[in-house]
Amino acid sequence: MYKKMKKINNSQKKKKKIVITWRFQLICFTVFVIFLAILSQVAYLQLIESPELIEQGNLRSLRIEKIYSDRGAIYDRNGVLLAVSVQAKTIVADPKKIFSSDSLNKQKKYWDAFFNVLHLNRNKFEKKLNANKNKRFMYVARQVTSDVGRYIQKLKLDGIYLKQTSKRYYPSAEIASQLIGVTGIDGHGLEGIEKKYDKWLTGHPGSKTYRKDGNGNIIENISLKDNQPGKPIQLSIDQRIQTAAYKAAKQYQLDYDCDSVQVVMVDVKTGEILALVSSPSFNPNNRNDFQSYRMQNKAITDIVEPGSTIKPFTILAALKSHVATTKTLVHIPSRTWRIDGSTITDTETMDKYSSLKEILMRSSNIGSAKLALATPVKNILMMESDFGLGKKTNLELDGEASGTLHLSRKNWNTVDKSRLGFGYGVSFTAIQLAKAYAALGNHGVVNNLSLLKLKDKTKGKRVVDRKDVDSVLNMLEAATNAAEGGGVFRADVKGYRIGAKTGTALVVDGSDGRYGNNYNVLTAGLAPMSNPQLALVVVVRDPKGDSYYASQVAAPLFSEVMKDALQILNIPPDQN
């Protein structure tokens, strides 16, 4: 019996041992499977999804901050600063942090000061903040002054940060604003020189790469790439002449209530532009009262019929075509002349037979019309074209107008052809006329215009015989000589020999091509005539009041600007 019981107990122990072994093996197998699964997942994450996960992690923690480069400065020909980048601050917000810290409520007094200094509406700001509440970055204000930036920094508002940046400052303000232009909020040029030379002026930004923790604190600086500042530009403009010309133009615009006044001065020998003025203008440092029409540089965008300022070129065309000589006398029977139903009028009675000098000096429309009728139209138009009239200059500035010359027109009636002689039927910009008169002063050699200060002498192109040009220059000088009866004596400058021509042209009224009752008045000329160095063109658009002739309005302005320029440049008076 005992043996039997012992046998049963051994059997039970054996079965129990088998069960325990089986359970242990099951547990081990399960643990092994779990371990294998974990190991497989780790391997999958490390080997297959690792790059993607690293990238996601970097997106959360890595930051690349752009380091802005200063834009190149702009100088006048003498090194006077015209445009420069100055330090500024950009205010940014971290909406998520502002909400998590309940900063708007806890720091209400400081937020009120914040809104006040930046002239922000609190409700609009909070609305924008709510729209971006899960974001970590939002622009608040850009290019604020360093003083404003320091004030905001002292407020110590949670979620408000300052970034270093720069903004453009223009020391000359409105005096040269249309020429220099402006930059946008991103620092790139939008108008004028700023746009034309944007690539040259714009530097290459640097960058700073760093890592942040979950609280937005920098925990690791990774890399730093230095920025490269933009290159400077030196213009041909003489800021002293530009300032004098602008102040005079602005005063004349106010005095005569005219639409605009344009002044262009060119160095005769080089083609460098010394002054390029258009009034009204604007202050690029204050864009709160911004009016787009004031940005237009009307000396390059607006075309005008030149009136009698074209007469030197009419005479040149007649001389070159051999239909007249300096000794030719033109029959002018009276102050009026009827031609094909149209009447041409002179402002004063001419000699019955007048020389070319008298025609230019006393500005005879009849004499100029007869010269135009005797000269092939193509020769007149090509003469004007050769001097750069009726086509864009080489400056390639935005908005520059080409003018009208009608070179392809084949059929000309007698009236239209006669009017070419005294500046009707063609139209030019002030800068084109300045280029043409500079070529006259350069004895028939046309130079390209330049807005940059030139280091080397330019080689121009001769377009007409020097002998003919010198003859016309003598006539032009006589026009400012009151003793000889010159009609442009108000353009004279005491102590200097001046050669100039005025032009008074009716303005086309409406789209029907008819002339109205308004005028554009011009004066174009050279100084000193003993050795011409400066070419100056003045255009006054639609002067109001009783004084509307060029000799009354534009000529005195010409005299004032030319006198200032001659003195500024220390050009000695003529001995004779």
Residues acting as catalytic residues: 308
Read off the DSSP letter of residue 322: T
All residues at 6 or more sequence positions from 526 whose CB lies less than 8 Å from its CB, including other chains: 268, 437, 440, 441, 473, 476, 498, 499, 500, 532, 534, 535, 536
Q: Which phi and psi angles does 27 have, rounded to 5°?
A: -65, -45
For the record, the structure tokens of 36 come out as: 């294998």
Contacts of 327 (CB under 8 A, 6+ apart): 355
CB contact at 8 A, 421 and 346: no
Asked if residue 549 lies in contact with residue 348, where contact means CB atoms within 8 angstroms, the answer is: no
Q: Which residues, 6+ apart, have CB-to-CB distance to 129 below 8 Å?
A: 93, 95, 98, 99, 138
CA end-to-end span of the chain, whole Å?
A: 161
Beta bridge partners of 355: 329
Tokens 């203008």 belong to residue: 281
Q: Are 221 and 228 spatial neighbours (Cβ–Cβ below 8 Å)?
A: no
Beta pairing partners, 90 = 163
Q: Are strands 233-234 and 74-75 parallel, antiparallel or unpaired?
A: parallel
Tell me if 149 sits within 8 A of 91, measured CB to CB: yes
Give the Cα separation of 545 and 256 in Å (integer).
Answer: 7
* Cβ neighbours for 249, distance < 8 A, ≥ 6 positions apart: 261, 262, 263, 277, 278, 279, 557
Residues in CB range of 567: below 8 A, 6 or more apart: none
